Chains A and B, each alone.
Chain A
Amino acid sequence: MSKGILAYGAYIPMRRLQRKAIVAANSWFNSALKSQAKGERAMANWDEDSVTMAVAAARDCLGERDRNEIGAVHLASTSLPFADRLNAGIVVNALNLPENVAGHDHSATQRAGLSALADALGAAGKSAILVTSAEKRRTKSASPLELSSGDGAAALLVGEGEPVAELVASASRTVDFVDHYRGENVAFDYTWEERWIRDEGYNKIVPATLRDLFAKAGARGEDIAHFVMPCTLAKVAGPIAKKAGIAEGAVRDTLAGVCGDTGAAHALVMFAHALEAAKPGELILVVAFGQGCDALLFRATDKIASVKPTRGVSGWLKRRREETNYQKFLAFNDNIEIERGMRSEVDKATALSSLYRNRNTITGFMGGKCSVCGTLQFPKTNVCVNPNCNAFHTQEPYPFADIEGRIMSYTADNLTYSADPPACYGMVQFDAGGRIMIDFTDVTPDEIDVGKKMDMVFRIKDYDPQRGFTRYFWKATPAA
């Protein structure tokens, strides 16, 4: 029994916005952007945010693993949908974890994801800690950040058991170095000059942290097989590695070309990606920068090959749809006032007392199974739906999130309000029993047909602009 990373996973949204589309729309204003027109960035769907992506990454990490071992859930992000409502609590509910788990939100710095992991590694004992981190930042049109950012998430399960990687040592520094900031009630980042960030920030703070770490670990740069350090600036990670004696080939790809920088989540996204490639005994150094620096050194164990995420970073990167519509990106991120039409004006007030009563149904996608006839149904009700049973009070909770379903009927609707018309939805029938008329997501009308296998994903149901409330439910998407 030792302590470390028991499982890992990630989530990258399917849409990949082509940087040349961003540049084509904006270079009239800032011609310097033309040099950044290469590659693509992950673009969350309108119904995704840091909470839904954290849930997706957690499911990718946990797979069919017993969730009862989890004693705490951390969520790290600078783009949490709620400033005051435990965002990790939504993740706990969506994963159907028991109520006797701890929940923590971490925020306010780009290293929040790695800090959360460091905290968890310190705290984890007999019960495991699920660390999730996700980011979907709003960025100004025509800003370099718009091009370099991507949306995504990672999740790591930390605890005692048979880890895939053990913590060797860690080091931290906290320095109030304000390379950028986002003030309260301000939507966008304010950023200082890149050369200064590089010279006074990364090049001074990171090496100092690494010196501490290597001293603690008794390790040397040349021992490092995987050097994970997110940085959107050019010529930073490589020179820092070189100075520390880390081989050039050990410096991990930042996924800039295929995903973009997922902010507070990115150190963990890159770490999850590195774990996919790591071999037993290899050292993985993970660094995150932001008002100081965290550096964690891991050693992959001989279990590294036996525990894999459901899809992992590589799998999600393959689930890819090219997006060239920059206007759609602006609309999804509420960066443009689009005429949504009168049908969008319907009041979306949520009765919080009702949501609480029904939290396992709505957030946990918990249906029922009749203890008399075994029929599955969603939602759970007092009377069994089976016309040949109709027993009262026999419904045992039954989770629907992970069972196989197929389309029974469907449509693509141009009339109803949708942030991404046409709204696709239909009746999905589960192989094990039960059905639901459900919204589809990450789908185009030509992909759907009767009989198509669908997976269930946790997404934003709708947003109440009057009261600033996001409500969540599950949707169906074409199966992997």
Chain B
Amino acid sequence: MARGIKDKVAILGMGCSKFGERWDKEADDLMVEAFEEALKDAGIEKNQIEAAWFSTAIEEQHVGKSGTPLAVALRLPQIAVTRVENFCASGTDAFRGAVYAVASGAADIALALGVEKLKDTGYGGLPQRGRGVLNSMWWANASAPGNFAQLAAAYRAKHNVSKEDLKRAIAHVSVKSHDNGSRNPKAHLQNKVTMEQVLEAPIVAEPLGLFDCCGVSDGSACAIVTTPEIARSLGKKDIISVKALQLSVSNGVEAQHNSWDGSHFATARVASKKAYQEAGVTNPREEIDLIEVHDCFSVTELVTMEDLHISAEGRAIYDVMDGFYDHDGTIPCQIDGGLKCFGHPIGASGLRMIYEMYLQLQGKAGPRQRAKAPRLGLTHNLGGFPHQNVCSVSIVGRYDR
């Protein structure tokens, strides 16, 4: 087992744009908005950044390919910029690039920035996008909610849960996240919703209704990373370091082999286990203080609670209904409002999750700050579909050395 990256890299600064329907902003406006906040927070000059990773996903309707959109938007001094695209986990993977650069010693200070303009399509929901020459000939005519909705059917069949009980549990997930989002000025949706509203909303893909789906937004988030030593030399106190960063990618077993039951994410189970190992976490339910997960759909969040080994298998609906994951619960999930309220500008989401952790760990989250300052936070960023996906898990925490 490799030694891992625990405590080798510190977050020097972070920024996050306002998420939402930013009709009046171009992608480079959003990049600059997130970057200026991060640069100010880091307390460095732009020219001190030595390498950058740039996450965007849907280039057809967005900024195009390559690292140039970031380099041009920020006028980076002709440094290395790599574009990262790994489905909806692109943001965390850009962060992984920057963190690995610092951990390896290839760069002292590195940048990860994600951005997505989703609202230039002319219609609601995630944009239509290419699936590849051969895939398009046979893949089911599936939307994102339709793919994720199937978790519900398989989960119900496996754990013998009634349609009504599952619907109520996933509705609670959305009610909770909207409640959290109402305390976050950067969230796209800042309105509370009731159980009745969620349960009675029009169905998008059976059994997911409108409120079971995350918003669709424009936004950008970024992180500047360095070593803990450099962070300290720059005068940083309360250093937040990276404890683990793991990525697990489906190899076709779920889609093609009958060993997967459709009720969970095989990758999330692998990535979270490896992340706990890398971070030295032995009992996540006891040790993790806060989680931000990829709640693209309410049912995704529900089953992810089990895949992260926090709720026991088949018990997530009980933990959810008991308020275990509410903002005043044992382990708040989506204390910032999550994808549910931020929407999901694909390239930015993973970094947006880490941004919230970074604020919470420093006690800087304002009205939504967890009273007892958390020490260890986990983010989970997922891309693709339950039957074929990429899953990133990061653990960040206070640097105690």
Contacts of B154 in A (CB 8 A): 408-409, 427, 450
Taking Cβ atoms with an 8 Å cutoff, the residues of A that contact B are: 341-343, 345-348, 350-351, 354-355, 358, 361-362, 375, 377-379, 381, 385-387, 408-418, 422-423, 425-427, 429, 433-435, 437-439, 445, 449-451, 461-462, 471, 473-474
Cβ proximity bits B183-208 to A, threshold 8 Å, 1 near / 0 not = 00000000000000000001111101
Q: Report Cα–Cα, A370/B79, bound state, in Å.
A: 48
Q: Report Cα–Cα, A435/B260, bound state, in Å.
A: 10
Of A345, A362, A413, the residue contacting B149 (CB under 8 A) is: A413
Interchain nearest-CB distance for B139 vs A (Å): 7
Q: Given A343-B128, A411-B205, A414-B205, verify A429-B141 contact (CB < 8 Å).
A: no
Contacts of B234 in A (CB 8 A): none
Q: Report Cα–Cα, A418/B141, bound state, in Å.
A: 8
Of A350, A411, A437, the residue contacting B255 (CB under 8 A) is: A437
Contacts of B233 in A (CB 8 A): none
Q: Report Cα–Cα, A358/B205, bound state, in Å.
A: 31
A-B contact pairs, 23 of them (CB 8 A): A342-B122, A358-B137, A361-B138, A378-B256, A386-B257, A387-B253, A387-B257, A408-B261, A411-B153, A411-B205, A413-B143, A413-B204, A414-B203, A415-B143, A415-B204, A415-B205, A418-B141, A425-B146, A426-B153, A433-B258, A437-B387, A438-B140, A439-B140
Of B147, B206, B252, the residue contacting A445 (CB under 8 A) is: B206
Of B128, B149, B256, the residue contacting A346 (CB under 8 A) is: B128
Q: Given A387-B257, A408-B154, verify A342-B141 contact (CB < 8 Å).
A: no
Contact assessment for A417 and B141 in the assembled complex, using a CB-CB cutoff below 8 Å: yes
Interchain nearest-CB distance for B126 vs A (Å): 9
Contact assessment for B258 and A422 in the assembled complex, using a CB-CB cutoff below 8 Å: no
Q: Which chain B residue lies CB-closest to A378?
A: B256
Contact assessment for B205 and A412 in the assembled complex, using a CB-CB cutoff below 8 Å: yes
Q: Report Cα–Cα, A379/B128, bound state, in Å.
A: 24
B123 at the interface (CB under 8 A from A): yes
Contacts of A437 in B (CB 8 A): 139-140, 142, 147, 255, 387
Q: Report Cα–Cα, A341/B123, bound state, in Å.
A: 9
Q: Report Cα–Cα, A474/B138, bound state, in Å.
A: 8
Contact assessment for B137 and A354 in the assembled complex, using a CB-CB cutoff below 8 Å: yes
Interchain nearest-CB distance for B134 vs A (Å): 6
Contact assessment for B142 and A425 in the assembled complex, using a CB-CB cutoff below 8 Å: yes
Contacts of A426 in B (CB 8 A): 140, 150, 153
Contact assessment for B255 and A410 in the assembled complex, using a CB-CB cutoff below 8 Å: no
Cβ proximity bits B146-183 to A, threshold 8 Å, 1 near / 0 not = 11011101101100000000000000000000000000
- The tally of residues in B whose CB lies under 8 Å from a CB in A reads 42
Q: Report Cα–Cα, A408/B158, bound state, in Å.
A: 10
Contacts of A473 in B (CB 8 A): 137-138
Contacts of A410 in B (CB 8 A): 150, 153
Contacts of A375 in B (CB 8 A): 257
Contact assessment for B141 and A343 in the assembled complex, using a CB-CB cutoff below 8 Å: no
Of A348, A378, A414, the residue contacting B204 (CB under 8 A) is: A414
Of B121, B150, B259, the residue contacting A411 (CB under 8 A) is: B150
Contact assessment for B256 and A427 in the assembled complex, using a CB-CB cutoff below 8 Å: no
Q: Report Cα–Cα, A414/B125, bound state, in Å.
A: 12
Q: Report Cα–Cα, A438/B149, bound state, in Å.
A: 15
Contacts of A445 in B (CB 8 A): 206
Contacts of B157 in A (CB 8 A): 450-451
Having A379-B138, A451-B157, one finds 13 other A-B pairs with CB under 8 Å, namely: A346-B128, A385-B252, A411-B147, A411-B205, A411-B206, A413-B204, A417-B141, A422-B206, A423-B141, A425-B141, A449-B153, A450-B157, A473-B137
Contacts of B128 in A (CB 8 A): 343, 345-346, 417
Interchain nearest-CB distance for A453 vs B (Å): 15
Interchain nearest-CB distance for B386 vs A (Å): 8
Interchain nearest-CB distance for A369 vs B (Å): 13
B133 at the interface (CB under 8 A from A): yes
Of A413, A434, A461, the residue contacting B256 (CB under 8 A) is: A434
Most buried by A among B157, B257, B261: B257
Q: Given A358-B134, A425-B140, verify A411-B123 contact (CB < 8 Å).
A: no
